[in-house]
Structure 1
Amino acid sequence: MTTPRLPGRLGEVQIDGGLPRREDLGLVFDELDYQLATQAYLWSLPLVSYAQWQHEHREVFGATNSDLVAYVSYRDRLGIITANATTPYIMTLIRLSETGPLVIEMPAGPVAGGVSDFWQREFGVMGEMGPDQGKGGKYLIVPPGQEPPTTDGYNVLHSTGVNLFFGFRTLDPDPDRSRALVAQVRIYPYEQRDNPPPTRVVSPDGKSWSGDQPRGLDYWVRLHDIYQSEVVDERDRFHLAMLRQLGIEVGQPFAPDERLTGILTQATEAGELMARANAFAKRFAGSRYWPDRQWDLAIVLDNPAQRGPHYDELLERASWFYEAVTFSTAMKSQTPGVGQAYLGSYTDQNGDWLDGGSSYTLHVPADVPAKLFWSATVYTADTRCLIDNEQQRGDRGSRDPDVVHNDDGSVDLWFGPTAPEGKESNWVQTIPGQHWFSYFRFYGPLQPYFDRTWKLGDITTN
């Protein structure tokens, strides 16, 4: 009987009478740990993403549980995975293990926000789409397993995690009124309600920072650190068994030996390669939006709970949270004129990766079905963040007054390392040696988007 050659480390194992040689057992266990680590990488992407962002908030910006961070300028947003380059972000990442029950006060006015756990599952909506309906109100966030100390005067939200993300946008286009609304948001522990600490609004202030998942052993350091306080969902107990085999365990230090360090480092490289293929070459049924175009639904998750009809959306979740952060019901709106819609293109019209050294055109037909505005944004494939070009501009859209329209109302956008003559206002600069991809966003998508009677052009090689 001939034993077939096995892949990876197992190809070096010699089989004797159906069993591996005793001296080859180390190769078998190395391969087992490697495969566990690659799967744990794909599973933990959303958790490590927020853990990294929380680390940067604290260590780079000096933000506390009671502070907000305002990402306003282009440079502020360079560390956010697939950030919108058009509107500001106001957000923070909080440890309920340090605060206990937490109060968030939302002002009256055009504000929309929400809270999610570190698996990026939304568990509460605030502002115009929340229970206060834009009239302002107090929200009491209760840690997992606890009862609210009171309900009087509060909208009570039961957190699904010990660590949480809170973010919101002001919808008022006037900058002064927008800043005034941000200044009225308050965050403080419930036990300090009689004398709450001030809520500061912190700026990144041009600091270099990164919100994408770290590489190498640092990925596992973040994962270990966050699980020292985070709850374990029932659905994740087998994955925690994998982590235990990899030296990551609640209440124990993370101190991998040389063998395990090498395996974990290789696994992050392989896991990220799998994550990129899973995100940039989507294999999900229905993800291609028009059969004859290269545009995909960027968000392939069905809902914020990440639940399918008889399974949890493991690879769908890995796809979105490798290339982006946060997900709410509004981001995958099915109601004309409400919420947003996101399409992603990772290739040109021929299915080739988009190359920063080449030139491309995107034809945007007239009457884009977006009630509020639309935008096309360029991201660097390596970091999934806004392109850090000399232009310091990563998008073009309907809110840009200098964008030139064709006589029929359509718009031609240009992407490449140099601007086509006379097209500078419609051009986004790309960087030779870097692959890139684009999101096309519809804010307030209208019926022609949903019924697909309006069709966006491909990103076409010039």
Structure 2
Amino acid sequence: MSDRTELAAEAYVYGYPLVFDLSMVQNALRNGFGALPPASFNAFAHSSRLATPAAHFVSVNNDTLYSIAQLDLSGGPLRLHVPDTAGAYYVLQFVDAWTNNFAYLGRRATGTGEGDWLIVPPGWAGRTPEDVRGVIDAPTAMVTIVGRNACAGPADIPRVQALQRQFTLTPLDGHRHRTGLPAPEPGVPGVLRFFEQLRVWMAGFPPAAADRAYQDRFQPLGLLEEGPSPYATAEPGIVRALAEGLKRGTERVEKASRPTPADDDRDPGAWQLDPHLFDYNLDWFGIGTHDSPEWRIADREASYLTRAVAARTALWGDHGYEAVSAHTFRDAEGQWLTGEHAYTLRFDRPPPVESFWSLTMYETPDYYLVDNPADRYSIGDRTPGLVHGEDGSLTVYIQRDRPEDPAGAANWLPAPAGAFRPLLRLYTPRQEVLDGTYRIPPIEPRRPR
């Protein structure tokens, strides 16, 4: 492998979150996704129904109604209004162009009362209105707000929709500004398009100083060149290096996103729970974040691969102290989970959370929700009609076909025909989840009698 090929692979891992994030921003603006309609910059798009398999978004949840806004702060600050949710769980998560979670508003972070907040672009030095509760400093001029309002099912949707209408964004100066994403140069060959996007968007949304120093290593690839694209008429040698580097970088991210041999050394069926998947933010700690070594990855360069994996498998996911997810690919006997078999998951006691929990089914390898005739994509403590044991335990039945017995049907989480990955979400987890004291029970294969 040439030096430029290896450098291109490193650039892919480093830049994948930026390119993937802004590509999703573009898609949201133009097409929306799932239950979310398209919306212009600096306006919320609200989902009117819980997510279904039509939402082709990695690991999308089925517990909340989303309210998502793509912010363009190049024209100046925005005033954000949040309603009083009367104690109901919600979170507004602020994500910069590099996928750093840099601020949170909501039940855990700031309570559920009504108020206004000011969102300001990098370097802003204006006057803050006296009537706002606080200032949210954005690391980049492009920001995604990921809002989640807890929804207990279809009957609860009208309540949530009434709240959604009260989340508003208003320019501080009263004028609408339209700048938008910098456009990569047309005419760049498809195999080099990723690097052209990375070149343009790195310049448009510079990261923290330490990351900018790391970016200097990519000068030989043309990623730091300004003006006309160097890739429109690139010489064959650099095209080969970039194409091969793209392939190698993609393989690294995909490999890191899958179970590793080390996972096979875990107890059979053990769940992989990583409260620190989103700890790659090392520089921006705003309202609602935890600024402590516990929530930072110590090795900055190692954090780039973690960040890429997080974008690949759970884009716009939040820090573990807001919500944590656990997943598994294997049953209690160490076998791969597949819809060819039936399983049970027995909770002796409810998972320890301050808010609520859910178990959601995803197919692999895309991690999309699984279509099924029951239209049930998740199950949890808010699912109506669950049947508990006399001792308070809860047994979830995981299989392709509806169980014949009433208790099994009530507690059924439908599975696909092929391989799958269930995901357990714990909203506002308690300390025993974060420190590993709590152990999630393994999924047991269900043998025919």
Same-fold status (TM-score > 0.5): yes
Secondary structure of the corresponding residue to residue 458 of structure 1? coil
Residue number among 194, 199, 206 corresponding to 1:231 in the alignment: 206
Question: Which whole-Å CA distance do the structure 2 matches of 1:300 and 1:398 have between them?
Answer: 25
Question: Which whole-Å CA distance do the structure 2 matches of 1:50 and 1:40 have between them?
Answer: 16
- What does residue 325 of structure 1 align with? 315
| Deviation larger for 444-453 or 374-383 | 444-453
Question: Which whole-Å CA distance do the structure 1 matches of 2:403 and 2:197 have between them?
Answer: 44
Secondary structure of the corresponding residue to residue 383 of structure 2? coil
8 A contact 1:300–1:316 mirrored in 2: no
Question: Which whole-Å CA distance do the structure 2 matches of 1:268 and 1:388 have between them?
Answer: 33
Secondary structure of the corresponding residue to residue 165 of structure 2? helix
Question: Which whole-Å CA distance do the structure 1 matches of 2:72 and 2:53 have between them?
Answer: 23
Give the number of equivalent residue pairs.
402
Which residues in structure 2 correspond to 1:204-219 (within 5 Å)? Answer: 219=194
Question: Which whole-Å CA distance do the structure 2 matches of 1:163 and 1:183 have between them?
Answer: 23
Distance 1:364 1:291, change over 3 A: same
- What does residue 418 of structure 1 align with? 401
Residue number among 369, 373, 377 corresponding to 2:356 in the alignment: 373
Question: Which whole-Å CA distance do the structure 2 matches of 1:414 and 1:259 have between them?
Answer: 56
Distance 1:450 1:105, change over 3 A: closer
**Residue 181 (1) aligns with residue 171 (2):** no
Question: Which whole-Å CA distance do the structure 1 matches of 2:261 and 2:306 have between them?
Answer: 10
- What does residue 140 of structure 2 align with? 161
Secondary structure of the corresponding residue to residue 135 of structure 1? coil
Question: Which whole-Å CA distance do the structure 2 matches of 1:217 and 1:418 have between them?
Answer: 45
Residue number among 297, 311, 322 corresponding to 1:308 in the alignment: 297
- What does residue 73 of structure 1 align with? 50
Residue number among 268, 271, 275 corresponding to 1:295 in the alignment: 271
Question: Which whole-Å CA distance do the structure 1 matches of 2:372 and 2:200 have between them?
Answer: 34
CA apart distance, 1:256: 6.5
Distance 1:47 1:85, change over 3 A: same
- What does residue 210 of structure 1 align with? none
Which runs of 5 or more structure 2 residues have no equivalent in the other structure?
33-37, 178-189, 283-295
Q: 1:89 corresponds to which letter in structure 2?
A: Y
Secondary structure of the corresponding residue to residue 445 of structure 1? coil
Distance 1:290 1:245, change over 3 A: same
8 A contact 1:358–1:416 mirrored in 2: yes
8 A contact 1:294–1:458 mirrored in 2: yes
Question: Which whole-Å CA distance do the structure 1 matches of 2:261 and 2:331 have between them?
Answer: 18
CA apart distance, 1:165: 1.2
8 A contact 1:365–1:456 mirrored in 2: no
Which residues in structure 2 correspond to 1:353-364 (within 5 Å)? Answer: 353-364=336-347
What TM-score do the two structures reach when normalised by structure 2? 0.76
Question: Which whole-Å CA distance do the structure 2 matches of 1:80 and 1:267 have between them?
Answer: 26
8 A contact 2:63–2:150 mirrored in 1: no
Distance 1:360 1:42, change over 3 A: farther
Distance 1:431 1:293, change over 3 A: closer
For residues 126-163 of structure 1, what are the alpha-carbon distances to aligned partners after superposition, in whole Å with 9 as ceiling and x for unaligned? 244455x4332222222112313434333222211121
CA apart distance, 1:41: 2.2
Secondary structure of the corresponding residue to residue 308 of structure 2? helix
8 A contact 1:78–1:388 mirrored in 2: no
- What does residue 240 of structure 1 align with? 215
8 A contact 1:247–1:256 mirrored in 2: no
Largest Rg, 1 or 2:
1
- What does residue 413 of structure 2 align with? 428
8 A contact 2:270–2:440 mirrored in 1: no
**Residue 44 (1) aligns with residue 15 (2):** yes
Cα root mean square deviation, aligned: 3.5
Secondary structure of the corresponding residue to residue 355 of structure 2? strand
Distance 1:448 1:169, change over 3 A: same
CA apart distance, 1:105: 1.8
For residues 245-296 of structure 1, what are the alpha-carbon distances to aligned partners after superposition, in whole Å with 9 as ceiling and x for unaligned? 4444443335365665565455444433322332332689xx9998665212
- What does residue 142 of structure 1 align with? 120
Distance 1:311 1:230, change over 3 A: closer
What TM-score do the two structures reach when normalised by structure 1? 0.74
**Residue 103 (1) aligns with residue 79 (2):** yes
- What does residue 377 of structure 2 align with? 394
- What does residue 273 of structure 1 align with? 251
8 A contact 2:50–2:63 mirrored in 1: no
- What does residue 64 of structure 2 align with? 87
CA apart distance, 1:446: 4.1
Distance 1:352 1:44, change over 3 A: farther
8 A contact 1:37–1:264 mirrored in 2: yes
8 A contact 1:107–1:136 mirrored in 2: yes
8 A contact 1:46–1:318 mirrored in 2: yes
Question: Which whole-Å CA distance do the structure 1 matches of 2:145 and 2:381 have between them?
Answer: 28
Percent pairwise identity: 23
Question: Which whole-Å CA distance do the structure 2 matches of 1:104 and 1:289 have between them?
Answer: 48
**Residue 56 (1) aligns with residue 47 (2):** no
